[in-house]
Amino acid sequence: MAETSALPTRFATPPALSLRFVPVWRRNLLVWRKLAFASLLGNIADPLFYMLALGYGLGALVGEVGGMPYVAFIGTGMVCQSAMFTASFEGMYSAFSRMHVQRTWEGIINAPIALDDVVLAEWIWSATKAAMSTAAILAVLFALGFGRTWLALWILPLGFLVGLVFGGFGLLMTSLAPGYEFFTYFFTLVITPMLLLSGVYFPVDQLPGWLAATANVLPLKHAIDLARPLMLARAPDAVAQHVVVLLAYAGIAYYAALVLTRRRLLR
Amino acid sequence: MASIVERVLPGRTGATRDRVLSVQGLVKRYGGHDVVRGLSFEIRRGECFGLLGPNGAGKTTTLRCCLGLVEPDDGTIELCGEPVPKAAREARVRVGVVPQADNLDPDFSVTENLVVYGRYFGIDRATLDARIPKLLEFAGLAAKAKAQLRTLSGGMKRRLTLARALVNDPELLILDEPTTGLDPQARHLIWDGLRNLLAQGKTILLTTHFMDEAARLATRLAVIDHGRMIACDAPRALIAEHVEPEVVEVYGDAARAWANAHGRRLSKRLEIAGETAFCYAMDAQPLLADLAARGGVRYLHRPANLEDLFIKLTGRELRD
């Protein structure tokens, strides 16, 4: 079975981008609307508990961090973390259900929609959900009196971008997954270190030099470097550099996911 | 490569527009194993064409190639006038598909399933709103329009899948084993629906391994095995061509001994499977006379059917 493991060049063609992804995206939106409350609650509750418990509990000990109260510091980290989690879940568990368990994608590509349209729709959708959870947590921060500045609204598109990165990686995992258990690797080996090293809970410069340098390659770190100044109504430094890194991660993950999904389903 | 094209269908009749699907010399390999080996057939407007074959014969692979979901290794396909896979997406605008495994949206109601699927074809809401009640009526689901999917029985889900495949008013309806897993009542309802569609002039491509289904629905049948076409014609013509017209089935412990002692002599052809002897004859009278004279043997006299044809062409051994 040489063909099974090799990646024939016919799957490695450029992505066919078209607006045909819209009806597939709307399908996911319609499902979400039915469960919106539970979904948003899930998106908010977990980060909210962390934010409040660590923010006020630990915050009482550490005081201000990075020029803001610790609860706002960790809250901003939680915004980015939540976008990462939401998109990863959507790209993995939800997309895998639609692809493999419910065979939804199979039904869709029997209609005049190409698999490329489906993957694009899932990618954009995972980022959409990331932006929605970003908005929810941002609303909580505003309600607590933090980040009430127009600049902070830039965190919304940032959440979308973080969603593109992790939705892309989620879909990449889905294209390779034999079952749900497979996603544990991603959480253990990628998400957890990312969470601890990217500066969600403490500034990265607290880490020893070599570890801080490692953190610099992590996409979540770049997202947080953009988000924190925005919360303080400041324009972040090196915006272009951070955005380029995030876009590069997003693009590479998406393309790899697309090629491997084609190989998985179009043979 | 010459050996790949083993059989070309009898002459092309009619103009291109009467040909809804044309497959010529289709070859598909997986890892050095030929799943489809030079398959050729054409489907004419208004007919129900059946692809019949044991498990693993290449039926589903052939369908996936026809829809442009799999790139063939060789051969040409034209679906609804479009070259496939090059313009497969354009061709699929005019095709409806009932897949082998259910893939309805479990999160949606019956109507939502049709609306969402209709949007994949770019059909506007007004057209869908006008069309959906008719589709539900056709599928016998008018009372279930707002029902959630999990409340439907297996048969209802299959009928909804059929209705969904008609949402774009397709020129060609492709059904991959549409009644597998259904009880007889549900199966008959699907058959009624399909006959109804044929009466309205729809064209159908159907794969099945139910002989009953093929006999009831197909105007023409292709028997395929190991990726090759073994025979292709109207069901009755196929039976007449390949199988002796009369069959006597003899049952029980004594069937084998009787078959070896007398049955073989009185039949044109005889096969034993388990505790049944199948005697094929041009005229069954001598067989029947012998069995009646002997007494105490259970037997059944019947005309040859598609199952006999299928077994004769594809053998009795089990396929997995």
> Is A3 part of any domain?
no
Question: How is domain B46-60+88-240 classified at the CATH fold level?
Answer: Rossmann fold (3.40.50)
What ipTM did this prediction achieve?
Answer: 0.91
> Is A8 part of any domain?
no
b/e per residue A111-146 (b: at least 16 CB within 10 A)? bbbbbbbbbbbbbbbbbbbbbbbbbbbbebbeebeb
pLDDT of A5 strictly over 60 = no
Long-range CB pairs of A48-51 (<8 Å, 24+ gap) are A48/A78, A48/A137, A48/A140, A50/A74, A50/A78, A51/A75, A51/A78, A51/A137, A51/A140
* A61 contacts chain B (CB < 8 A): no
SS3 per residue for B28-59: EEECCEEEEEEEEEEEECCCEEEEECCCCCCH
* A27 contacts chain B (CB < 8 A): yes
> Is A206 part of any domain?
yes
Q: Given an 8 Å threshold on Cβ–Cβ distance, is A31 in contact with B70? A: no
* A1 contacts chain B (CB < 8 A): yes
How far A3 CA lies from chain B's nearest CA (Å)? 5
> Is A1 part of any domain?
no
DSSP secondary structure, chain A, as one string: -HHHHS--GGGSSPP---TTHHHHHHHHHHHHHHTHHHHHHHHHHHHHHHHHIIIIIIHHHH-EETTEEHHHHHHHHHHHHHHHHHHHHIIIIIHHIIIIIS-HHHHHHHTT--HHHHHHHHHHHHHHHHHHHHHHHHHHHHHTT---SGGGGGHHHHHHHHHHHHHHHHHHHHHH-SSGGGHHHHIIIIIHHHHHHTTSSS-GGGS-HHHHHHHTT-HHHHHHHHHHHHHTT-PPTTHHHHHHHHHHHHHHHHHHHHHHHHHHH--
How far B223 CA lies from chain A's nearest CA (Å)? 24
Residue type, B281: A
> Is A5 part of any domain?
no
Q: Can you give the pLDDT at residue B254?
A: 87
Summarize pLDDT for B118-177 with one digit per residue, the tens: 999 999 999 999 999 999 999 999 999 999 999 999 999 999 999 999 999 999 999 999
Averaged over A64-85, what is the pLDDT?
Answer: 93
Instruction: Indicate the residue of B71, B97, B107 with minimum beta-carbon distance to A31.
Output: B107
Summarize pLDDT for A195-227 with one digit per residue, the tens: 999 999 999 999 999 999 999 999 999 999 999
Chains A, B: CB pairs < 8 Å = 73
For residue A223, give its domain range: 16-265
Q: Are B311 and B304 in contact (CB under 8 A)?
A: no
> Is A7 part of any domain?
no
> Is A120 part of any domain?
yes
Averaged over B207-224, what is the pLDDT?
Answer: 91
Q: Given an 8 Å threshold on Cβ–Cβ distance, is B108 in contact with A30? A: yes
The count of domains in chain A is 1
Q: Given an 8 Å threshold on Cβ–Cβ distance, is B32 in contact with A3? A: yes
User: First and final CA of chain A: distance in angstroms?
Assistant: 13
Q: Can you give the pLDDT at residue A1?
A: 37
The region that residue A248 occupies, defined by phi over 0 for left and psi between -120 and 50 for alpha, beta otherwise, is: alpha
Burial label for A228, CB within 10 Å (0-12, 13-18, 19+), is: buried
pLDDT of A55 strictly over 70 = yes
Summarize pLDDT for A36-50 with one digit per residue, the tens: 888 888 878 888 888
Indicate the CATH number for domain B244-303. 3.30.70
> Is A129 part of any domain?
yes
* A26 contacts chain B (CB < 8 A): yes
In chain B, where are the structural domains located?
A: 46-60+88-240, 244-303
Domains B46-60+88-240 and B244-303 share a fold: no
C-alpha to C-alpha distance for A62 and A192, rounded to whole angstroms: 23
- Kindly list the strands in the beta sheet with B74-79, ordered across the sheet, starting from the edge strand earlier in the chain: B33-44, B19-30, B74-79, B82-84
What is this structure's pTM?
0.91
Summarize pLDDT for B263-311 with one digit per residue, the tens: 999 999 999 988 999 999 999 999 999 999 988 889 999 999 999 999 9
